[in-house]
Homo-oligomer: A and B are copies of this chain.
Amino acid sequence: MPTSAPPGNRFERRRAETRGALVRAARQILAEPGDASPSIQAIAERADVGFGSFYNHFESKAELFDAAVVDALEEFGRSFDASLTGIDDPAELVAAGFRLSARMADSHPELMQVLRRHGLEHLHSERGLTPRALRDLEAGMTSGRFTVTDPTTALYALGGSLLSLIELRFARPELDGDEAASNLAEMALRMLGVPAADAHDVARRPLPHLA
């Protein structure tokens, strides 16, 4: 049952609330440093729901944590859709994605910590930025804006570069985030075959506000 479905009655509403509370608690845990692996009891307490209700929604902790990452990925993807409408150039879309991600490290730290810590293993995900990046990549390949040998490796290289930018924002907060993001976006565009001078300019075009 998707959490976004309008709950039909009090039972369904309460059920959706419980699931949402568990996912939010798991997201908080995933955003925290360390390899802590709290018990289901501790997660239920953190979510302020009964221990027994956990198994009404999830078969295991792994399933809950996976749902929490997917939830973060979807929020991340929706932010981009809302912010980037009206941009048609695939190169500008890629660059804006990098630059908005750096800003989201400041504005949405919990979400971005989840991606920082768990994004790599979800690079193949059908949620979040991956399908959007693939769409932009294919549009750019079709139009000749991008020249890459293989879309799968290009997608992974883009994802890895984006994760390194998120890591850089958190590990080196003293660096200018906008400048680091433009530098990294510029390199990502070069990687996709955009000429150097063009990549430099596109990575510094006016950036839409985050929706």
Contact = CB atoms under 8 A, between A and B. Distances in A.
Contacts of A179: 150
A192 B183 CA distance: 11
A83 interface: no
A157 interface: yes
A98 B28 CA distance: 34
A157 B184 contact: yes
Contacts of A61: 35
A147 B116 CA distance: 28
Contact of A160 (B162, B171, B183): B162
B171 A167 contact: no
Give the size category of A's interface with B. 35 or more
A103 to B, nearest CB: 16
A197 to B, nearest CB: 11
Nearest to A121: B167
Contact of A196 (B36, B124, B147, B186): B147
A186 B191 CA distance: 8
A164 B159 contact: yes
Contacts of A82: none
A196 B196 contact: no
Interface string A162-206: 111101100110010001100110111011110010000000000
